[in-house]
Structure 1
Amino acid sequence: MAISARRILVAGAAGAGKTTLAARIAAATGSPHIEIDAVHWRAGWTVNPTFVDDVDALAAGDAWVTEFQYRAVLRLLAERAELLVWVRPRRAVVLTRVLRRTVRRRLRHELVWGTNVEAPLRTILTDRDHIVRWSMRTFHEPEERIREARRANPGLRLVQVRSGRDAARLLAALQSGRDRSIRA
């Protein structure tokens, strides 16, 4: 099976693996990966005031892969996308991933989207919007965003990825689709 798509969205819960898979999809298709969090966030965890305009410019491009998670640009991206990949691991897998990532980033003082760093680990207990708590609280929200995307673009193809095996099959199908379009 081959899948040919040049404008691809990757949806899923926070910590599901959207950005990792989006980067792998970009490599398989030859399309640029634009990490939407990097477009959205500025220093001090403030929102980019030109976010919607910046995403509009991105979405107008001929080929791209980006994550699908911000309501402000949902319709704009959905209307222009050809493929929507829904990363759907089990909740326990997402919790494990988001915990590992958060702890790693915090302990290594990794910069996130410019000059931002993860909040202190103790704030998992006190901050309702700590990324770990946010991920679990909003775990099912991608489902509604996907329904909205399909209403905005009835021709949008949907592929669900529940496991590493599913991801490998998708990447092979996208690579095969790319190879066919190169030969044509």
Structure 2
Amino acid sequence: MLTCDDVLPFRPSRVLVCGVSGAGKTTLVTRMSRLLELPRYELDALHHGPEWTPRPEFLDDVRAFAASERWVSEWQYTSKGVSEILPPRADLCVWLDYPDRLVRARLWRRTLARSILRRELWNGNREPSIWRLATTTTPEENVLRWQTKTRDVWRERMPGHEARFPHLTFVRLGHPTETERWLGRLGR
């Protein structure tokens, strides 16, 4: 597994970004899309239909972009079958393995801002009200509880992912400063 100080030995054309909720996957996907001139696919937008219902076309949409030669996306929805589609096609996986306190604070800020501003996210959906966030206890309906439930998933699964996808180059970034340093080198 590479780190922020390692030189990437190739120019990637199919990139996955993984990490716990709040790590900054979508933000990094957007930046890498611009930097590498790759089409960007946001899995949340493909997954969530109106009223937060899963779109039946989700996996078909993922298969369609995965079959193309150039893209960047988040690696999430692993229980929905995404791990059978995207990693076999990707050539680079960037793992945002940031400190728990940092990603927790980021997720709180993002969630509260979205809730207060009532900003539309995907397909007409909005973050629940602050009251609903405070009273909803199921992780599947509350992103803050979801993050608590899943915060160690990538750390536990990464050795298995490396073994399962030996063709995939993995880069582990342990802090936003490492991400900035790595992106600076990638853009050269």
- Work out whether 1:46 is the aligned partner of 2:61: no
Take 2:144 and 2:69, find their aligned partners in 1: how far apart are those partners?
35
Q: Which amino acid aligns with 1:107?
A: I
- Normalization by structure 1: what TM-score? 0.89
Equivalent of 2:117 in 98, 108, 113: 108
Cα 1:56/1:19, change in 2 over 3 Å: same
Structure 2 equivalent of residue 138 of structure 1: 150
Q: For residue 95 of structure 1, what is the aligned residue in structure 2?
A: 104
For 1:35, give the aligned amino acid: E
2:95 is aligned with 1:83 = no
Q: Any gaps of 5 or more consecutive residues in structure 1?
A: 177-184
- Residues 98, 176 of structure 2: 8 Å contact kept: no
Deviations 1:10-52 (A, max 9, x none): 0000111110111111111111111111111111001010111
More displaced 10-residue stretch of structure 1: 162-171 or 147-156: 147-156
SS of the equivalent of 2:167 reads coil
Unaligned runs of 5+ in 2: 1-6
How high is the sequence identity, in percent, across the aligned residues?
A: 34
Distance 2:83 2:130 in 1: 31
Q: Partners of 1:47 and 1:63 in 2: how far apart?
A: 25
The CA distance in 1 between the partners of 2:160 and 2:63, in whole Å, is 18
CA 1:69–1:147 in 2, change beyond 3 Å: closer, same or farther?
Answer: farther
Which residue, out of 13, 16, 20, partners 1:6?
13
Shift in alpha-carbon separation, 1:145–1:38, aligned structure 2, 3 A: farther
SS for the counterpart of 2:39 is coil
Match of 1:55 in 2: 62
In structure 2, the partner of 1:157 is 169
How many pairs are equivalent?
A: 176
- The structural deviation recorded for 1:163 is 1.7
Aligned to 1:21: 28
- Among 129, 147, 170, the alignment partner of 1:120 is 129
Counterparts of 2:159 and 2:46, CA distance in 1:
24
Q: Could you tell me how far 1:160 is from its partner in structure 2?
A: 1.0
C-alpha displacement at 1:161, in angstroms? 1.4
Tell me how large the CA RMSD over aligned residues is.
1.5
